[in-house]
Structure formats: structure tokens, C-alpha cells
Amino acid sequence: MGPEDLVVRRARLDELDAVIDVAAAALGWPAGEPHDALFRWKHLHNAFGVSPMWVAEASDGRLAGFRAFLRWELRRSDGTTLRAVRAVDTATHPDFQRQGVFSRLTSAAVAEMEAEGVDLVFNTPNDQSRPGYLKLGWAEAGRLPVAIRPASPAALLRILRARVPAAKWSLPSAVGEDAASALADAGAVTQVLASQPSPHGLATAWTAEALAWRYRFAPLHYRVWAPEGMAAGFVVCRVRARGSATECSVTHVLAPDADVRRVRTLLRGLAGAVDADYLLTIGHRDLRAGLLPLPGQGPRLTTRRLGQEPPVSVRGWDLHLGDIELF
């Protein structure tokens, strides 16, 4: 059976189980981990909309692969918005590898999203998948800046030795409050969001509803640090293993009016309270709040124009770790 026998089409909701089976077979998902629930939460309950998905179907009815784009909304500094998608989940069943399944699925997805009026695609592919995206018309915007706050000189040494990806699943943590409970205070979250200045580049159009969806999946153990109450500013984080080090990934920091002194106070308090070797976050703003740059370590942002030209450099984006984290 060759690639000419495959039909690429939009996936149906009633075949989601089969799509997840393809992902499990291709990616080697270990038994006992909640990948199924994670996939459904991410793609079916997204506050920005249900994810469009595509499948490659063989002549015998088997699914050879799938492709999913995560719907997203972006805001310019002038307040106007763009419809976007993140190129996230894709997999080819082992029986159909090296038959161009990824390219065919992704090309079909891009064409449909462009026809629908979506403005752009963005993602942070790894070193193995990035060349495939570049061949399909993606452009690299550069590395997103990483900033860290080590807990001690010994922790800094562990950071330098931990040259491996962070674990997908979080470690349990008792710092602060669980994110689902904390972010249920929609009034306080909306108040803090409304106080934020215009972004200096293209940014996610976060709302209280969107943040509540983003961080409510319990098995990821997101926590919220808000020692003076949500209206006074808060940090969203999770603790993960990275090699021999323990990392506290800071996915969002929101202080009233984006006050740098308040951000610095929140991060300093979190660093003293969390059981981790260091805090890590992404974004230009956090370098002004007492964190140290970690050169050459950030994920590489790639983009694909559909209806609008995306910023050609990461300097034209204003992103949190929570915007691009692969969850």
C-alpha cells in the first residue's frame, strides 16, 4: 500500500478514539498516563474553539495518521485581533511511515485554514520536526528568550548539567493553590487582565475564561501563587523534573498594570516557597524583574502566513511560557 492509496480528509468527532490510538502507537504513550483525557481537554474544550483535525485514511479503512491544529487568538498592540492556530499534535502510524503522511496532512490543513480565513499558524517544533515545517513554507522567527532564577549556586550547576527536555508530566506541589480553584475567581482575574498595558508585540488574547481552561487540567498540576489575593497579582506555575534538576516552570506572571516591582516580589516569594532548584520562564519582560538570561536555550518559534504576515522576529511577539508550552 503506497501513499497514492491514502485519502486525506477532515476528521470526524466519532473517530476520536481511533485518532488517539494512532497517536499512542506512533508516540509510544505509556499505559496509565492520562493522554486520552489530555487530548480531549486540549482539543475539545479549548476556550478559543474546538480544534480542526485531519486524518489520512488507507483504502482498508485504517487511519495512517492525523494532524490537529489548536485554535488560538492573538492581539496586536493596537487592540485588533488575529485568528490563529498552533500546529501542535501530529502522528503517523508506524505501518505508514516514510510515505509523506505528515506533509500531505499538514498541506491540507494549511489550505483549509487559509480558506476559512485564519490569519496565521505558529508553533515551536523540535529539531527533528522543524526541517519538515520549513519545507512546507514555515519561517523561523528565532529563539524565544529564557530567563531563570536559581535557588542557590549548587542549583545553578544542576541547571547547566540538565541539558535534556523537561518531563511532560508535572511533579506534585503544594505551593500556592491549585490553578482550577484560584482561576475560578473570574472577577479578580478579569480585573488584573484589564489593567495590562498594550502588548509590545503580537500576544495571546487572554480572558479569564481562557486562562481557566488553559490551567484547569488536574493531572498537569498547575499551581497559582497569589500570597496577597488574585487581584494583587499572581503567578501560574508547575514543577517538573529536568534531568537531575527540579524546575519550576513559570507559565504566567500577571501583576496589576504589569508593575515590574510587583512582578519581582511575586517571583521572589515563589522562589522561596517552591521546592525546586530554579524558576524558569520565557519572555523579554522577565529579564527586567530580576531573572537571569539563559542564552541559546529557548524554543525556536516558527510561523506560517495564511491571511496575514506574522512578525518575522521573536521581537515582534509578546509571549508567556504558557502561550507556547507543549502541553
Q: Is the pLDDT of residue 221 over 70?
A: yes
pLDDT of residue 153: 77
Q: What is the pLDDT of residue 156?
A: 74
4 confidence band (pLDDT: 50, 70, 90): low
Q: 288 falls in which pLDDT band (50, 70, 90)?
A: low
Q: Which domains are delineated in the chain? A: 3-143 (3.40.630.30), 146-296 (3.40.630)
pLDDT for 291? 87
pTM of the model: 0.93
Tens digit of each residue's pLDDT (9 = 90 or more) over 256-283: 999 999 999 999 999 999 999 999 999 7
Could you count the other beta carbons within 10 Å of the beta carbon of residue 311? Answer: 17
Provide the pLDDT for residue 151: 85
Q: Distance between CA atoms of 88 and 124, rounded to whole angstroms?
A: 9
60-89: string of b/e by CB count within 10 Å (b at 16+)?
A: eeebbbbbbbbbbbbbbeeeeebbbbbbbb
Take residue 82 and report the three cell numbers written for it. Answer: 488575529
**pLDDT tens digits, residue range 163-193?**
788 889 999 999 999 999 999 999 999 999 9
Longest dimension (CA), the chain: 62
- Cβ–Cβ under 8 Å, residues 20 and 39: yes
- Name the burial class of residue 239, with classes exposed (0-12), middle (13-18) and buried (19+) by CB atoms within 10 angstroms of its CB: buried
Contact 204/73 with Cβ under 8 angstroms?
A: yes
Cα gap 213→17, rounded to integer Å:
22
- The H helix count followed by the E strand count for the chain is 10, 15
285 confidence band (pLDDT: 50, 70, 90): low
| pLDDT at residue number 235 | 97
In whole angstroms, give the CA distance from residue 229 to residue 226.
5
For strands 300-305 and 120-123, give the pairing. antiparallel
For the stretch 9-57, pLDDT in tens is 999 999 999 999 999 999 888 888 999 999 999 999 999 999 999 999 9
| Nearest C-alpha neighbor of 69 from the set 114, 128, 5 | 114
What pLDDT was estimated at residue 222? 98
Give 97-155 pLDDT, tens digit per residue. 999 999 999 999 999 999 999 999 999 999 999 999 999 999 999 999 999 999 877 77
- Residue 3: pLDDT over 60: no
What was the pLDDT predicted at 157?
A: 76
